[in-house]
Amino acid sequence: MSVEQYAVGLRSLHVRLFNALQPEDVLAVAHRSSAAYLRSSAFLLTPVGTFLAASADLAFWTVSVLLHAAALDGQQMRGAGHTSPPAVNFVQLYQRLVELLVALVRLNDLHGAVAVHRGLHHPILQRVTAQPRVVALLPASTLQNVAHLHGIFRACGAGKATSEDALENYMRGLPDTDVHPLLPPLQHYLGRLTRLSREVPSFLSLRTDEFCPPSRPEENAREIVVVHWRKYMLLDRVVCQLTAQQLEARPRAMNKAFETHFTQQKRRIISDYWQLAGMANSFLSAL
């Protein structure tokens, strides 16, 4: 299966999952954003949970297949007495995954692109890609693509208003949205909604004399509680934005062949931290 076919298959899967969720449910998740709830089966079985889980699966799949390739390289280098070319499988697969990341960006599947980006920047994987011998084997164009897209996606889900400008600016100027409607990175919107819910009060206390002076000097000013309407306007704007994106990204026929293939791939994912670290160490010790 080519990189382009993989990207098209992932986009088809993500469109189907995106259209299954209700934007109002995203707002509800932002209000219940505790780690325990987000890890619970009750959440993971919801449409929002399923959509986010697809992103997490793709990120772990990226890490897992790359470190499998690295471990295989380590075995081959030790078996050949360090006479074979280093990191052949890892470098080839890393290039293909960067091509997949670029292809997802071109298809405006930012939900999938953010997942692959996160996988490529997993802490254990970065120990491997930081090795000078590995960097020297990677084409300059591959490294440039990774650096450029990292500048756009690194803040996704970080919940920091000042660090999300690059992603916001990129989404405002997306090309080919008439052909490939945007599939948004839901973590970005959840971060915005969570930040609004936590940092902006729902009600404000104001003095009556801030609106107008007392009609008579002997009248005493008093405090009243008012709804912070701007907060709810901003929350509603995010929900409306997601609704509009759903209307544009109409699902097509389910790509059963790809989804079956990718489900089989996911069954082989290794997500245990220590297993991943062991695979990386096996490669690094042979490098």
**Could you tell me if 282 and 224 are in contact, meaning their C-beta atoms sit under 8 angstroms apart?**
no
SS3 assignment, position 203: strand
pLDDT tens, position by position, 39-73: 888 888 899 999 999 999 999 999 999 999 999 99
- Residue ranges of domains in the chain, CATH in brackets: 3-286 (1.10.840.10)
Residue 144's pLDDT is 94
How confident is the model over 106-134, as pLDDT tens digits? 999 999 999 999 999 999 999 999 999 89
Q: 236 versus 161: which is more confidently predicted? A: 236
Given a cut of 60, whether residue 24 has pLDDT beyond it is: yes
Nearest to 185 by CA among 119, 245, 98, 95: 245
148-173: pLDDT as tens digits: 999 888 866 554 554 567 788 888 88
Rounded to an integer, what distance in angstroms lies between the CA atom of residue 5 and that of residue 3? 5
Query: With contact defined as beta carbons under 8 Å apart, do 66 and 122 qualify?
Result: no
Q: Which amino acid is at 18?
A: F
